[in-house]
Amino acid sequence: MKFSSANCVFIKSNEFYSEYEIEMDSKRRFSIRYYKELESTQIVVKELAEKGLDEGIVVIAKKQTGGYGRDKKKWVSNVGGLWFSILLKPLIQPNEISKLTLLLGIMLGRVFEKKYNINSEIKWPNDVLISGKKIVGIITEISVKQNKTNWVAAGIGVNINNSLPKYLENISISLKNVLKRKISRLEFISAFFNEFEDLYFDFKKNGFGNFLKEYNDKIAYKNRNIVVDNGYCVITGKNLGIDESGRLIVKTENKLEKIVSGTVRLVEDKIGIVL
């Protein structure tokens, strides 16, 4: 299935419906399935993928009861947010899939900047920040058969109009709070898919190289001291951005570390290592 960014409009424009489609041009469509409540859009997309459905299925939930992010961390998915997953089947090697997560961050950052004139940063590997607070979480899960990518379930959660629990208010933010007005979720997802078209197919054809500079220009905590927990050890050093493979480059006291995955947090300059 080919997506086209030309004249991306929702056929039904008032609200999300039980099932509808986005018209990408006069000939091509991709199917969107909307649910009032789900445990997780990721679970549904993975089930559909296992049934052999084609690339281009999008599952959206008004509310998730068991939304999750990387490492199965709970994602609070109240009414008012935008919670969706996309079934993709890129003909790329499994070790390239992590770059798709990075690319989705770029797409979402472009939406904030082009549509809403808001500066954002991408927190490696899977978050988008506004004013240092998380507004987007991304997860990509993959099925591999005979060392080839079978399918990818790309899940995205965006805090649009949803209220945030008190315990998250210092680290998360919603678009409504940033702009001081209610935002149309249809408007946002339309803008996202307009960005999706060109970037996704460029990525499938040419890889991530064309996006490396843009990512490093937008990466959060650039040239600042960070701590990275990769599940095996904790690394502290200066964030130098990512390399062409999508690995995070951290300059420690002794060497350059190139990290494949992990959780990043900022270290205050007075506490961290000065490099």
Mean local confidence (pLDDT), 89-113: 95
pLDDT of the residue at 49: 96
CA distance 232 to 248: 16
Q: Read off the pLDDT of residues 174-189 as tens digits, 9 standing for 90 and up.
A: 999 999 999 999 899 9
What is the average pLDDT across 56-85?
88
Query: What's 94's DSSP letter?
Result: G
Task: Identify which of 115, 68, 99, 76 has the alpha carbon closest to the alpha carbon of residue 209.
Answer: 99
105 against 71, higher pLDDT: 105
| Extents of the domains making up the chain | 9-217, 221-266
Q: Residue 194: is its pLDDT beyond 60?
A: yes
Of the listed ranges 10-19, 80-89, 142-151, the one predicted with least confidence: 10-19
Q: Which of the residue ranges 10-14, 50-54, 252-256 would you say has the lowest mean pLDDT? A: 10-14
Q: What is the model's pLDDT at position 50?
A: 95
Sequence-distant (6+) residues with CB within 8 A of 131 are 173, 178
Rounded Cα distance, 46 and 77, in Å: 19
pLDDT above 90 coverage of the chain, percent: 71
Per-residue confidence (pLDDT) for residue 40, from 0 to 100:
95
Contact (Cβ atoms closer than 8 angstroms) between residue 52 and residue 31 = no
pLDDT reading at 191 higher than 80: yes
User: What CATH topology corresponds to 221-266?
Assistant: SH3 type barrels. (2.30.30)
Residue 62: partners with Cβ closer than 8 Å, 6 or more residues away: 16, 34, 35, 36, 37, 79, 83
SS3 label, residue 84: strand
Cβ contacts of 232 within 8 Å, gap of 6 or more = none
> Cα–Cα distance between 137 and 5 in angstroms, integer?
23
- The answer, yes or no, to whether residue 35 has pLDDT greater than 70, is yes
What is d(CA 85, CA 64) in angstroms, rounded to the nearest whole number?
Answer: 12
Predicted confidence at residue 30, as pLDDT, reads: 64
3-state secondary structure of 173: coil
| DSSP one-letter code for 167 | G
More confident residue, 73 or 203: 203
Residue pair 91/204 in contact by the 8 Å Cβ criterion: yes
Q: What is the number of alpha carbons within 13 Å of residue 231 lying toward its C-beta? A: 6
- Is the full-model pTM beyond 0.75? yes
Would you state the CATH architecture of domain 9-217? 2-Layer Sandwich (3.30)
| C-alpha count within 13 angstroms, C-beta hemisphere, residue 134 | 21
What pLDDT, on the 0 to 100 scale, is given for residue 8? 35
pLDDT at 195 over 50: yes
State pLDDT tens for residues 221-268: 999 999 999 888 999 999 999 999 999 999 999 899 999 999 999 987
> What is the per-residue pLDDT across 135-157, written as a single tens digit (0 to 9) for each?
999 999 999 988 899 999 999 99
User: Residue 72 above 60 pLDDT?
Assistant: yes
